[in-house]
Structure 1
């Protein structure tokens, strides 16, 4: 079983690898990878991985950004000290969410679940059920942004955001009324705080509100272009690795 470990704290990575080697007889451990950049580079080589154990907060951002292009049949067990990303995790092949310090029994149970769930007959049904159960939890998503104004501050509702773009580390909100606002947050942090049923991380630099998706068009190399209602001239092209996820998001 090829298992990839994504963890930026050495002592946590060492302990996790020891647990894997002690509990999974056929484990072949890869990593640990300590950053989003390392994760992207690893998957560009198209390695055969059966399971991923990933911390969420890495040295250069959230691991979600590095996991966007993983194959849909590779399960992910998230290992973290933070519980606010639980629902978000299940948009990235997440099958379990283990809070640190990780207990051996919990890890074994999660790995066994990965073996059972990611078979052709059961994967879709089981993941859908987990997602449904998590939806029933009281999960607070961001409702508005506080924006610095000339005379103080204003608030803008999240529902009025058409899409969000980041360039050179600066995030900008593009509103449905054509107003634009800069926010002092990374796109990773914004993405983690938005309702995944309402917003989709289309590219590494763009997040789109489903209410602003006018239509989608086939694009080159099996990619898809999103036409944003209020900004039809912008380029939002979804890579072929995320096309299935985009269609599932639109078809809910």
Structure 2
């Protein structure tokens, strides 16, 4: 089996390669490309059984590759962006995996490839898969209903600068510098919020990437973060710093 892996970020490539190796449990040949031009060059002179591709890569988007050269190879898209679902559907895509993905996501995609190999591609089933992904993406919390003496105030999650754990409840500040409290644990809130925008940097704080004003090194394995609405800086834990660096660089 010969696979083309199109991924411009080295950590993401290593993670994907490890998952594919674990899933296939057999030897396979592969080519790793990082840019539009490099991918076109290899596809012009080599044939592949399967392509795994990010969407936003060096030199443009992977769709630029498939527009420039005719490709009949099945494609599994692995990306952090869900807005390209329909465009991917117009190519030879057979699966659309959203980052951050896990081993089971790669297993399911490769199992689908195996089941579809030598079979007619079922567009109805594939579109249904996209529908499930969209519904999952849209299931994240969109607003908080905060009880106030004067009534219930609605705060959109996109306007939340940060969330701080305070025992069994949490408090957060919005873009108007207004402080609110909510009767949920920080762990539960972390699972309800969209990980594209929110990250739990330590045991006590979740930050919204939109309102991060400054990031500097604090120690070898920790970062100091200045967030809008807070006078003091927040410090990442040693356990989260590596993942946080990857999160902000996506």
TM-score, with structure 2 as normaliser? 0.49
TM-score, with structure 1 as normaliser? 0.48
Structure exhibiting the larger radius of gyration computed from Cα positions: 2
